[in-house]
Amino acid sequence: MYLEIRKPDDSVKMSELPAGLYSVGSESENQIMLPGAGVSGRHLILNLRGGACWIEDLTFGETLLEGAVIHGRCELLEGQRLKVGSYTLRLLSELPKPVPVRVEPEKVPAAPLPPPTPPVPPLRVPLRVERDERLVARRQAVKQQIHKELLERMDIKRLTASHVEEGELHRRVLTTVEGIVKEVAPRLPPEISPQALVKEVYDEAVGLGAIEDLLADPDITEIMVNGALRVYVERKGRIELTDRTFLDDKTVLSVIERIVSPLGRRIDESQPYVDARLKDGSRVNAVIHPLSLIGPCLTIRKFSKIPLTSDDFIRMGTWTEGMRDFLKACVEARKNIIVSGGTGSGKTTLLNVLSSFLPDNERIITIEDAAELQLKQDHVISLESRPPNIEGKGAVTIRDLVRNSLRMRPDRIVVGECRGGEALDMLQAMNTGHDGSLTTVHANTPRDVISRMETLVLMSGMDLPIRAIREQITAAVDLIIHEARLSDGSRRVVNVTEVVGSEGERTTMQDIFVFEQKGLNAEGKVIGRFTPTGAIPTFLDDLRARGVSIDLSLFDPKRQG
């Protein structure tokens, strides 16, 4: 191969480069010496083997490859421009041919070039935070060097395996990181804070890395890690890109393992996705290679430290006081209720608020994939499903837990979500004396809930006719509460619908309360109102028979909120 070096004065030097290992820098000890401003004493390592060339940057993001900052080790392809200080390097497989000089009889001034066409903006601009990608890359390079030095000075995995006390391990890591950063502080770019750098490296070594501070932010409801360099958050219903990054994909994978290992769950190539939860109860989903093509992906639905109450729902505009009073009466009167909605619409939060209406003197059993419900009653048993072990055995599904709960003398059964054959067992429980059960289902409308439940029952493996399944659903389900996330990020209970019965092949339903959206204001907020439809629930006499009084004025269409 040949190495083309373009000097600061724009002169070019060509050198034949045999296979081997070369150091590049301004000091005379380097095989390739580049004296000049912006070149470190030992700037980078160039490794040429078998027609391929790899480079490893030894600075803090001061090397550019095709205009982009590099950090760590990467491949240098033929013809790519490598910027080292004021020098430009290119690797070529053959010497460039001389360009013949042609004498022009007369120089004609070139016509002025048309102004460049402005770039077409992308169709989707999901970001509110503008990131300085160059600064992010420089911080990555610095963190990588510090992390490499930390691994040389400490064997964290060995200390963890030798059962060093957690507090002592964290103290040692923090002290070591502080020492390393203190050594390199004079060479840090001015825009990188040494204190912030210490925290980032420390969090990645023993904590949850770049998302530690995001978990502590009460305004953030969801954290989405798309590989090492893209961390998004949901704040007030809006998705934003943050300036947080992980060191590399291995660091993200280490964070995922720290989350799932204490729960007895695993993630590897044979089991490349997992559901888990953090210590505070936040729900976690992780997907890694080979399923994810962009690197490890981590999604965290944050757990509210202070559960929302029904009064909070009124303040936030999720429902009205009249709707709250009606639904509380239905829960107390042991009506079977399904909460429906799309992903992220707030179904689990609504289910938690409805569960707060359950009486204290009843035995309540909750069944979930990852425990999220926060019931305050005294007599609550929380059950959680279990995935298979490494041999593919030992799995305990939601359906297994629903069946087992029937032998535990429950007064109420609350299932976090029906997404499979457990729907059949749930319907049978509702129809055989376990009134007042609550669950959630993914659906787009209350009408879709019925067809969705039919599909889930068929997934149980039972060869039942559709008519029989529909009759089971009609007999079991009393009320469907449909929640939606609107365009401004707010959540609303858009339908409270009663399942009345069936007429032939069709299930009869009637809306009791609806949310009517009127438009958007100048700030993009949804304008609308909650409206009773005027329909009176057919089970009103049953509520009264159970001693639950209902004000009929709640159903007056003139009462709008």
Residue ranges and CATH numbers for the domains of the chain are: 2-92 (2.60.200.20), 310-552 (3.40.50.300)
Q: What is the pLDDT of residue 126?
A: 41
CA of 492: how far to CAs of 238, 314, 316, 346, in Å? 16, 10, 9, 9
Backbone Cα Rg of the chain: 32
pLDDT exceeds 60 at position 125: no
**Crossing angle of helices 446-458 and 422-431, rounded to 10°:** 110
Q: What is the largest distance, in Å, between two alpha-carbon atoms of the chain?
A: 108
Q: What is the pLDDT of residue 254?
A: 86
CB neighbour list of residue 356: distance below 8 Å, 6 or more residues apart: 307, 309, 310, 375, 376
**SS3 per residue for 80-110:** CCEEECCEEEEEECCCCCCCCCCCCCCCCCC
Q: How confident is the prediction for the chain on average, in pLDDT?
A: 83
Judge contact between 416 and 366, C-beta under 8 A: yes
E-state strands within 194-336: 220-226, 231-235, 238-241, 273-277, 283-287, 297-301
Residue type, 547: G
Q: How many CA atoms, within 13 angstroms, populate the side-chain half-sphere of residue 345?
A: 22
- Helix, strand, coil tally for the chain in percent (to 5): 30, 25, 45
Q: Quick one: which H or E segment has residue 167?
A: helix 166-184
CA of 556: how far to CAs of 99, 161, 341, 377, 552, in Å? 89, 67, 26, 34, 7
Q: What is the pLDDT of residue 232?
A: 94
Judge contact between 326 and 535, C-beta under 8 A: no
Tokens at residue 454, please?
A: 């039919």
Closest to 14 measured CA to CA, from 75, 69, 89? 89
CB neighbour list of residue 301: distance below 8 Å, 6 or more residues apart: 221, 222, 282, 283, 284
Q: For the sheet with 44-49, list strands across it.
A: 32-33, 20-25, 44-49, 52-57, 73-75
Instruction: Please write the tens of the pLDDT for every residue from 240-274.
Output: 999 888 888 888 998 898 888 877 778 888 889 88
Instruction: Please write the tens of the pLDDT for every residue from 324-369.
Output: 999 999 999 999 999 999 988 889 899 999 999 999 999 999 998 8
Tokens at residue 334, please?
A: 């042991």
CB neighbour list of residue 204: distance below 8 Å, 6 or more residues apart: 143, 147, 210, 246, 247, 251, 254, 255
Tokens at residue 495, please?
A: 């339908």
Q: How confident is the model at residue 547 (pLDDT cuts 50, 70, 90)?
A: confident
Instruction: Please write the tens of the pLDDT for every residue from 436-461.
Output: 999 999 999 999 999 999 999 999 88
Q: For the sheet with 297-301, list strands across it.
A: 238-241, 231-235, 220-226, 297-301, 283-287, 273-277
Question: Which residues on neighbouring strands pair with residue 235, listed in sequence order?
Answer: 220, 238
Highest-scoring range by mean pLDDT, 25-29, 276-280, 292-296: 292-296
Instruction: Please write the tens of the pLDDT for every residue from 473-522.
Output: 999 999 999 999 998 888 999 999 999 988 877 889 999 999 999 888 88
Distance CA 431, CA 437 (A): 10
Q: Burial code of 145-170, b = ≥16 C-beta within 10 A, e = fewer?
A: bbbebbeeebebeeeeeeeeeeeebe
Distance CA 115, CA 203 (A): 48
111-140 mean pLDDT: 54
Q: Quick one: which H or E segment has residue 56?
A: strand 52-57
This model's pTM is above 0.85: no
Closest to 138 measured CA to CA, from 206, 188, 83? 188
**Crossing angle of helices 466-476 and 446-458, rounded to 10°:** 130
**Crossing angle of helices 133-153 and 194-206, rounded to 10°:** 60
pLDDT exceeds 50 at position 129: no
